């Protein structure tokens, strides 16, 4: 691969003086001096890089190219935080899977079956989660997550946070107390289950004396958990972009999911005004519904421009640090 043509050179001025939102076409938040951050690091110590992986349902598959970029540059995060799909991919990566292995897993898992015998549930919902998710209407919710939790447990092959190769922080929300809950020790699966319990889609999770729901309702991209724990911070927002404007009222599912996304965007707007991360990456994933995992190939392709920009930025950061 021709890296010179692939990695468009980002000017040193734009790198040094901008906190960048990548692949959305605009710069909407006050700049932080990335140069100051890099120059303040110890000359002899490799910078601790934190990685925050956000919520976004199927769009979260766009986290995979980010992880592939880190692997290619031989960057191992010192710590990872994740919400919802970000929590799932974060613990898989922290358990030892490479970005390339996660790509293969996703492509295999969500390959559409267009045959007559393909899953009726997949055809109805467009989810691509046959065998992992089953209808949960009898419990007052749309889906039962038991299958996917068993799948994740089998894949990570460890039970406790302490056994992961990279420390991970997972965000959920306490339903009754209306507060953020952060898990970084103890059992992994209940924490992941709670973090992805989208209201109306999955049932709330009872764990450690709390009733927990999706962490995205309080912290969609939990980079703030890592601000004081690393030298350099990359946050990945996979909330996606809606461009289609449909006439009439939204469907039941679209109403739930789109309202959820509006809330998350409002939270992120306020967080970014206060203290943005060093790199805020937002791949432009267009018009993919929350549970449409059958769009895996499309999502990965749409994330490619952001991956290229991130790779160039991280190379600049490493070069500046090496020149010190």
Among 39-48, 128-137, 303-312, the range scoring the smallest mean pLDDT is 128-137
- What is the model's pLDDT at position 143? 75
Give me the catalytic one of 144, 214, 231, 278: 214
User: What Å distances lie between residue 3 and 8, 20, 72, CA to CA?
Assistant: 9, 22, 12
Mean pLDDT on 92-98: 97
Residue 44 catalytic?
no
Span 287-310, pLDDT tens digits: 888 888 888 999 999 999 999 989
What pLDDT is stored for residue 193 in this prediction? 96
Whether residue 108 has pLDDT greater than 70: yes
Contact (Cβ atoms closer than 8 angstroms) between residue 54 and residue 88:
no
Between β-strands 79-83 and 134-135, what pairing exists: parallel, antiparallel or unpaired? unpaired
For residue 247, give both structure tokens.
């006439």
Q: Could you count the other beta carbons within 10 Å of the beta carbon of residue 321?
A: 18
Catalytic residue among 19, 23, 55, 84: 84
pLDDT for 205: 94
Question: For all residues of the chain together, what is the average pLDDT?
Answer: 80
pTM value is 0.82
Contact 22, 307 (CB under 8 A): no
Q: For residue 107, what is the enclosing H or E element?
A: helix 99-109
Catalytic residue flag (residue 42)? no
Closest by Cα among 210, 274, 207, 272 to 26: 272
Q: What is the pLDDT of residue 262?
A: 85
What tens digit of pLDDT does each residue of 164-210 get? 999 999 999 999 999 999 999 999 999 999 999 988 788 899 999 99
Q: How many residues does the chain have?
A: 324
Among 12-26, 34-48, 161-175, name the most confident range. Answer: 161-175
């Amino acid at each position: 691969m021709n890296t010179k043509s692939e990695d468009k050179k980002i000017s040193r001025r734009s790198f040094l003086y901008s906190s960048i939102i990548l692949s959305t076409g605009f710069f909407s938040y006050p700049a932080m001096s990335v140069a100051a951050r890099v120059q303040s690091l110890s000359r002899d110590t490799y910078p601790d890089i934190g990685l925050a992986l956000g919520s976004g349902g199927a769009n979260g598959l766009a986290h995979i190219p980010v992880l592939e970029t880190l692997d290619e540059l031989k960057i191992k995060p010192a710590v990872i935080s994740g919400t919802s799909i970000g929590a799932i991919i974060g613990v898989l990566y922290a358990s030892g899977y490479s970005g390339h292995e996660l790509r293969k897993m996703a492509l295999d898992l969500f390959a559409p079956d267009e045959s007559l015998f393909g899953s009726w549930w997949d055809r109805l919902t467009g989810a691509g989660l046959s065998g992992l998710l089953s209808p949960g209407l009898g419990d007052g919710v749309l889906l039962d997550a038991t299958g996917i939790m068993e799948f994740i447990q089998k894949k990570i092959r460890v039970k406790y946070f302490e056994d992961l190769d990279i420390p991970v922080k997972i965000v959920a929300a306490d339903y009754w107390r209306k507060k953020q809950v952060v898990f970084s020790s103890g059992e992994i699966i209940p924490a992941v289950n709670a973090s992805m319990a989208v209201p109306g889609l999955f049932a709330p999770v009872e764990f450690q004396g709390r009733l927990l729901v999706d962490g995205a309702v309080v912290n969609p991209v939990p980079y703030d958990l890592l601000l004081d724990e690393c030298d350099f911070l990359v946050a990945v927002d996979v909330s996606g972009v809606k461009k289609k404007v449909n006439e009439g009222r939204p469907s039941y599912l679209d109403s739930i999911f789109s309202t959820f996304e509006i809330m998350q965007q409002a939270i992120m707007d306020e967080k970014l005004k206060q203290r943005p991360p060093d790199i805020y990456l937002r791949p432009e994933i267009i018009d993919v519904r929350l549970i449409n995992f059958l769009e895996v190939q499309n999502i990965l392709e749409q994330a490619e421009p952001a991956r290229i920009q991130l790779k160039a930025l991280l190379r600049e950061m490493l070069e500046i640090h090496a020149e010190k």
